[in-house]
Structure 1
Amino acid sequence: MPENDAARGRVGPPLVADERTMLRAYLDFHRATLALKCADLTDEQLRRAASPPSTLTLLGLVRHMAEVERAWFRRTIDREDVPLVWSERGDFQEAYDASSATRAAAFAAWEAEVEAARRIEEAAPSLDVTAPHAKTGEPVSLRLVMLHLIHEYARHNGHADLLREAIDGTVGA
């Protein structure tokens, strides 16, 4: 990991830790990676679809991840009756449309959802806490939610790598 990562808010996961600490650390590492991919870019650059014909943008990814954090932690694990951030119809795809979005609004929503997710996870007595899946009603554990979020961030951070490189040539993260 580059030396300036810690100064920019990204700390590598520990090499040895208990399961919960390791999951928290990897999830936070991936959250910080997405933030780094968006660092030092203008709203216009963050809204740029850098790999046509795809309309995917860095700002769209941030908005999408706010929805994912909310859906899994607040709506599923905490069972809050809250709508998605950008869709009253429950359509996750609407978050990807960042054509009129701003960094300030997208990051405020994402950061609020990350903080809510952290509070919910920390308050849970164990990773074995379960809640019904929104679509199937089957129980899902906090462990599954954390692993799913790590997977989701890792996948989208790969997209962010390519988007950022196409915008200004920046590689690595």
Structure 2
Amino acid sequence: MTGFALHLLRHGAPETPGLLMGRTDGAPITEGIAACVAQAETLGIERLIASGLHRSRAAGEAIGAALGVPLIIDPRWRELDFGDWDGKAASAIDRDALGRFWDDPDACPPPGGERWSALVARVSAAIADLTPVPTLVVTHGGAMRAALHSLCGFDQCQLWAFDLPYAARLSLRTWPGAQPSAQVAGLYP
């Protein structure tokens, strides 16, 4: 079976960086959107998807306008819901509780928040529904890590080895099927 290019692009910098922004939405800065457009210019994509949160949708709309590709909104690509911690700075959260979460986000999710396995399940479902054409998904750091887990089998420690700053692009060669898989083709911060 022939593989296809899947590019995962983290949204550009928000107006208020440094917060745990899951369902909390924030406006992206103009420079952040421009950085995303620059990452997409030469990809030759046929499909463009965004999570629907403003910080990813705005970049997706700008990319779609620049490339002449219609934008599809798929909320399965949104960030992990941080529950009671959503929208807060890490310094405002109990240090021990936050440490337990980072060590094992499935066993120790944020209070009222989403488990890591739920994020992986929805991102995996979104991946399974992709048409095998060159695709760009404007998404979030957590969803990008969930895709790496699903497609490449990286464990939790390995996932944190990837630096995914705002407007970082992760390019994958993806093979669809009952159990989709991928090979990392590049990381472009």
TM class by smaller structure? under 0.3
Query: Structure 1 or 2: larger helix share?
Result: 1
Query: Structure 1 or 2: larger strand share?
Result: 2
Structure showing greater relative contact order (alpha-carbon pairs closer than 8 Å, 6 or more residues apart): 2
What TM-score, normalized by structure 1, do the two folds share? Answer: 0.28
What TM-score, normalized by structure 2, do the two folds share? Answer: 0.26
